[in-house]
């Protein structure tokens, strides 16, 4: 502002001098005229000096501004790089999308690049239980010194979910078609003892899952290895009140750890509720339909009895194999879902066919209803005759406002001319070539649970089941009794 004021004063002086020269003529002398000219020259010289000084100041100010801008940009870049370095040094946080599993809402990303992911996940389920006949999961005859009608209290094998840890991942092989390789390795253990599932005498590391496959919007999902039976994945949306409601690519959440889950045997196989050496293909068609196909190859299966099944050897002509197919439908508004499946097995020269149909509906935001049917036709030796089973289930889930959820369910199994072994009724997919006797009877079970959700990864639960058999039906779960009541208090943590 000072330079600008001086400049204006100089302009004013020069203008005054010019006006003086241009004023009315007078009888001035030549000497006076010469003085005016010299004054004008001095003013012009001063103006030139002031303009030069102003130019220098403007240039200095411009250079300073440019330098300040460059410094700010550099500082921002350094700050950004520092922030990235700090973020990279921090441990990975739980990522809900890291592992997409039915029973696993959490997971940790160990690798997460543009083309490759690797996730670590797990679940810990602790159950303290009591049983009116020793409890099916705790070696009851040993725990009660052979008194099978004695009450038992203690830590049991987990009721709601099998304890597990595992790795799952993907690798993009074609970005244009969004095609990726996928895999899953999953191990189960028993929390009371730390044993592998199945016991220390027959350890199997990845007894829950050991498969690899390919997945894309065009192909769907094709997996090969040890995995859930197809029937288990198709029926999970209605067969119990604890699993996913929607048809999709996930593996089934229900299991056979407890009496309350025993109807799942109609979705199983001679190698348990999982297939060895199997290929499974699932494909979504638009927003509503999902198709399922599965095949368990013949040959030596399940060389570790702890996997829950029987060694099966292919004897030719599709013996030792199992084939399954299914279809699922999800309503456009996602309020109801239905599925149907058919499974055929021929492991020992005697065919076994199980069909299922069921679904669920959510008539209210806080209520989900489930129900479905199984029908089984099982060949047995001619001297025993054919076995025919019919089973059904109904259940409800209640989601009131707050942290509590509730579930209540009932199932009934009616077996006609079912083969027996050791006095107990065989499961639908047990081998039947060696049986010599059969009986008819029923198995009814009422069960339920209440959950208190501490957060998305942790909850507490109280569960019960009351079960009884009628007619000629017998099961080792009851330890020689005709009925059983059990209750369990548990806690789960997902990671």
Mean pLDDT of 244-262: 82
Same domain, 78 and 123: no
Residue 100 lies in a domain: no
Contact assessment for residue 275 and residue 315, using Cβ atoms and an 8 Å cutoff: no
Same domain, 129 and 204: yes
pLDDT tens per residue, range 384-441: 999 999 999 999 999 998 999 999 999 999 999 999 998 999 999 998 888 999 999 9
Same domain, 354 and 271: yes
Query: In whole angstroms, how large is the CA radius of gyration of the chain?
Result: 40
Same domain, 341 and 410: yes
Query: Which of 73-77, 178-182, 441-445 is least confident?
Result: 73-77
Tell me the longest C-alpha to C-alpha distance in the chain. 156
444's tokens = 């009814």
Residue 101 lies in a domain: no
Higher pLDDT, 294 or 68: 294
Residue 195 lies in a domain: yes
Dist. CA 495–CA 489, nearest whole Å = 21
User: What percent of the chain has pLDDT above 70?
Assistant: 70
Same domain, 353 and 280: yes
Same domain, 167 and 23: no
Same domain, 148 and 62: no
- Residue 427 DSSP label: P
Which residue segment(s) compose the domain that 25 sits in? 2-87
Same domain, 47 and 178: no
pLDDT tens per residue, range 295-350: 998 765 544 344 344 445 444 455 578 999 999 999 999 999 999 999 999 877 88
Q: What does each C-alpha distance from 171 to 61, 112, 119, 212, 488 come to in angstroms?
A: 56, 10, 12, 11, 41
Residue 136 lies in a domain: yes
Q: Is the pLDDT of residue 8 over 50?
A: no
Dist. CA 354–CA 268, nearest whole Å = 10
Residue 103 lies in a domain: no
Same domain, 190 and 80: no
Amino acid 431: pLDDT:
86
Same domain, 411 and 488: yes
Amino acid 33: pLDDT:
61
pLDDT tens per residue, range 192-205: 888 887 655 567 88
Amino acid 154: pLDDT:
87
Report the domain count for the chain.
2
Same domain, 204 and 158: yes
pLDDT tens per residue, range 328-337: 999 999 999 9
Closest CA to 232 of 115, 141, 103, 132: 103
Same domain, 82 and 139: no
Residue 95 lies in a domain: no
For the stretch 365-369, contacts whose Cβ atoms lie closer than 8 Å and that sit 24 or more positions apart, written own/partner, are: 365/399, 366/398, 366/399, 366/400, 366/401, 367/396, 367/397, 367/398, 367/399, 368/241, 368/245, 368/396, 368/397, 368/399, 369/394, 369/395, 369/396
Site of tokens 């199992």: 322
Spacing of C-alpha 411 from chain mean position: 27
């Amino acid at each position: 502002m000072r330079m600008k004021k001086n400049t204006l004063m100089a302009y004013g002086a020069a203008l005054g001098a010019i006006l003086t020269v241009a004023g009315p003529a007078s009888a001035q002398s030549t000497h006076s005229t010469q003085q005016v000219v010299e004054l004008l020259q001095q003013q012009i010289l001063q103006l030139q000096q002031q303009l030069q000084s102003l130019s220098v100041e403007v240039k200095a100010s411009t250079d300073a501004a440019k330098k300040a801008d460059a410094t700010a940009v550099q500082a921002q870049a350094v700050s950004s790089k520092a922030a990235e370095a700090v973020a990279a040094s921090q441990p990975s946080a739980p990522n809900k999308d890291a592992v997409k599993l039915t029973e696993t809402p959490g997971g940790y990303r160990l690798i997460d690049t543009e083309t490759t992911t690797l996730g670590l996940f797990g679940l810990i389920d602790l159950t303290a239980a009591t049983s009116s006949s020793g409890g099916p999961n705790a070696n009851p005859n040993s725990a009660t010194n052979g008194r099978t009608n004695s009450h038992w209290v203690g830590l049991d094998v987990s009721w709601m979910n099998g304890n597990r840890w595992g790795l799952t991942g993907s690798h993009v092989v074609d970005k244009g078609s969004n095609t990726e390789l996928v895999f899953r390795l999953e191990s189960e253990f028993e929390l009371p003892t730390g044993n592998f599932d199945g016991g220390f005498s027959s350890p199997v590391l990845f007894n829950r899952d050991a498969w690899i496959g390919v997945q894309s919007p065009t192909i769907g999902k094709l997996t090969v290895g040890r995995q859930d039976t197809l029937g288990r994945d198709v029926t999970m949306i209605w067969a119990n009140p604890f699993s996913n409601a929607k048809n999709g690519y996930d593996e089934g959440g229900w299991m056979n750890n407890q009496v309350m889950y025993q109807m799942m045997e109609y979705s199983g196989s001679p190698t348990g509720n999982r297939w060895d050496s199997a290929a499974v293909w699932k494909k979504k068609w638009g927003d509503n339909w999902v198709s399922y196909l599965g095949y368990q190859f013949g040959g030596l299966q399940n060389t570790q009895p702890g996997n829950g099944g029987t060694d099966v050897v292919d004897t030719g002509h599709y013996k030792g194999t199992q084939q399954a197919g299914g279809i699922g439908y999800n309503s456009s508004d996602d309020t109801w879902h239905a599925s149907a499946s058919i499974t055929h097995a021929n492991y020992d020269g005697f065919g076994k066919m199980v069909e299922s149909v069921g679904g669920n509906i959510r008539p209210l935001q806080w209520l989900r209803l489930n129900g479905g049917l199984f029908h089984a036709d099982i060949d047995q030796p001619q001297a025993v005759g054919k076995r025919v089973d019919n089973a059904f289930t109904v259940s409800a889930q209640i989601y009131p406002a707050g942290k509590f959820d509730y579930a209540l369910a009932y199932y009934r199994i009616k077996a006609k001319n079912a083969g027996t072994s050791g006095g107990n009724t065989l499961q639908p997919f047990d081998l039947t070539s060696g049986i010599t006797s059969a009986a008819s009877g029923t198995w009814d079970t009422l069960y339920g649970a209440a959950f208190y959700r501490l957060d998305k990864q942790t909850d507490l639960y109280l569960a019960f089941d009351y079960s009884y058999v009628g007619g000629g039906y017998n099961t080792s779960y009851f330890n020689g009794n005709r009925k059983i009541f059990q209750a369990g208090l548990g806690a789960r943590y997902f990671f």
